[in-house]
Chain A
């Protein structure tokens, strides 16, 4: 019996090796202006995904 369904996600440990191009949007700039959070930001470095 399969007990666990793993959803496909970006591997953060892998992204530590090649992430950080810095082209992504400034978190607060886009819509809220009062509460930082980064989970809803898009990655601009397409080839790293």
Chain B
């Protein structure tokens, strides 16, 4: 299977199953489009007619082009057959029973009252709660006990607002560091925060201990303050931006993301990206809101057309800024063509419910943070482990080939089947697909690969 598209002045051809990426001229683009369905003679005849006013494109040249494509096919770089489907279940099963990442819901409470919050202002449709050190410590022990031979273990301090339970965060990190050597593990901690409680102590700690910090900022002040307000209804932008700037400056190159959400209020999110850049941030992520269709924040079909255009303009902006010596990162356009994930990862997906689980403040286990609060998805708890094997099996069976809609999608090995929670909320099944998200994902991938191609060619 191939996917071919034109963007940014490039004719790009992706060979889906080998992962090969080709930049081709117009003639090759046309030959490739016909290659699988037409004879050599028919292609030469049709394209001789099409290019009859172009002296350089003779029948001999078309034949030479055809032969180049034939060679690439023989070399496994074009029209490669999909041989992965039969091995998909086995590949994912290779890591069954191993847990390598936990999302610790350190605080089911929040000091902001954002109406678009999937976690219902941090409460996850339940009571406000803080995780105790004892529960957090047991969660870390549980992770080590179930991590098998995995060396790198990930723990995200999540909420609600995790800094509302900062002392426990610090205690847990200290505990984890104290047992790393004994168990030959390395903890990678991340912190996702709205920024309200950031102070010098937090900055010093985060920059010492957190391999990544995710800082929630929606971009323009008026956009951010529309949803991200405190309980008195006051916007948070003025309070948090200087704190984020101070934290990022002190981070001295360590990973961080400014993470925004765009909604029906700002499908023109590139303006928010520009605001983030103007504020001095360079590691950026903007996510489309995931909301029910009748939610006022939800993106409409008209918004989607705007968003698609914004993604293309974002790619152009990245390349312009490269030339100006002011590059920036957009999370969804990060793609390492030479060293990206292997086929195991591309088939298996995010690992929710198997390699990755969320832990509530009282120690219950859920497949991921987005299922917390929905009792039927409770897997078990950190003392007794997974007990709801029926639910876990559903997640273990999630791979890109388990979703009918994904089988013929060119982006399947860049996406791995998408988010189980989004699928569940859109279709009622974790093995469904969130179609609106798919359209946006495919556009992002086209843009990401175009940017990668442009950078590669500039380097050549």
Of the residues A19, A25, A38, A41, contact of B154 by C-beta under 8 Å: A25
Known contacts A4-B22, A10-B338, A39-B340; A29 and B419 CB within 8 A of each other? no
1/0 contact trace for B138-164 toward A, CB 8 Å? 000000000000111010101000000
A35 to B23, CA, bound (A): 29
Q: Interface 1/0s, chain B 324-361, versus A by CB < 8 A?
A: 00000001111111111111111001111001100000
CB-CB under 8 A from B293, the residues of chain A are: none
User: In the complex, what residues of A have CB within 8 A of residue B340's CB?
Assistant: 10, 39-43
* Contact residues in B for A7 (Cβ distance below 8 Å): 20-23, 337, 452-453, 456
- The answer to whether A22 touches B368 (Cβ under 8 A) is no
Choose one: B103, B337, B351; the contact of A9 (CB below 8 Å).
Answer: B337
> With an 8 A cutoff between CB atoms, is B384 at the interface?
no
Q: Out of B259, B351, B370, which one reaches A27, CB within 8 Å?
A: B351
CB-CB under 8 A for A19 and B337, given A33-B192, A35-B422: no
Q: Give A15 Cβ to nearest chain B Cβ, in Å.
A: 4
Q: Are B151 and A23 in contact (CB under 8 A)?
A: yes
Known A9-B21, A38-B346; further 20 A-B contacts with Cβ < 8 A: A7-B22, A10-B340, A11-B19, A16-B343, A20-B342, A22-B95, A22-B344, A23-B152, A24-B345, A26-B154, A28-B356, A31-B285, A33-B259, A33-B370, A34-B287, A36-B416, A36-B422, A43-B340, A45-B342, A48-B342
Whether A22 and B94, one on each chain, are in contact in the complex, defined by CB atoms closer than 8 angstroms, is yes
Interchain CA distance A20-B341 in the complex, whole Å: 9
Quick check: B68 and A16 within 8 Å, CB to CB?
Answer: no
For B, the interface residue count at a CB cutoff of 8 angstroms equals 92
B342–A4 touching, CB < 8 Å: no
**Chain B interface (Cβ < 8 Å from any Cβ of A):** 17-25, 27-28, 56, 61, 64-65, 68-69, 72, 76-77, 80, 83-84, 87, 91, 94-95, 98, 100-101, 103, 118, 150-152, 154, 156, 158, 188, 190, 192, 212, 214, 257, 259, 285, 287-288, 290, 331-346, 349-352, 355-356, 368-370, 413-420, 422, 437, 441, 444-445, 448, 452-453, 456-457
Q: How far is the CA of A6 from the CA of B452 in the complex (A)?
A: 13
User: Do A43 and B72 touch (CB < 8 A)?
Assistant: no
Contact of B118 with A12 in the complex, beta carbons under 8 Å: no
- Chain A residues whose CB sits within 8 angstroms of the CB of B346 once the complex forms: 12, 38
B20–A4 CB distance below 8 A: no
Q: How near does chain B come to A7, taking the closest CB pair, in angstroms?
A: 4
- Given A6, A11, A38, which contacts B345 in the complex, CB threshold below 8 Å? A38
Contacts of A16 in B (CB 8 A): 83-84, 87, 91, 342-344
Is there an interface contact between B24 and A5, defined as CB atoms closer than 8 Å?
A: yes
B332-A40 in contact (CB<8A): yes
A43: chain B residues at CB < 8 Å are 336, 339-342, 345
Q: Interface size for chain A: under 10, 10 to 19, 20 to 34, or 35 or more residues? A: 35 or more
Choice from A23, A31, A38, A44 contacting B414 with Cβ under 8 Å: A38
In the complex where A13-B80, A39-B414 touch, is A49 in contact with B355 (Cβ < 8 A)? no
Contact A49 B338 (CB under 8 A): yes
Q: List B contacts of A44 (CB < 8 A).
A: 152
- Cβ of A19 and Cβ of B257 under 8 Å apart? no
Chain B residues with Cβ below 8 Å from A36 are 349-350, 415-420, 422
5 tightest A-B CB contacts, nearest first: A19-B342, A20-B344, A15-B342, A40-B334, A3-B28
Task: Specify the chain B residue showing the minimal Cβ separation from A27.
Answer: B350
Q: Do B415 and A26 have beta carbons less than 8 Å apart?
A: no
B72 to chain A, nearest CB (A): 7
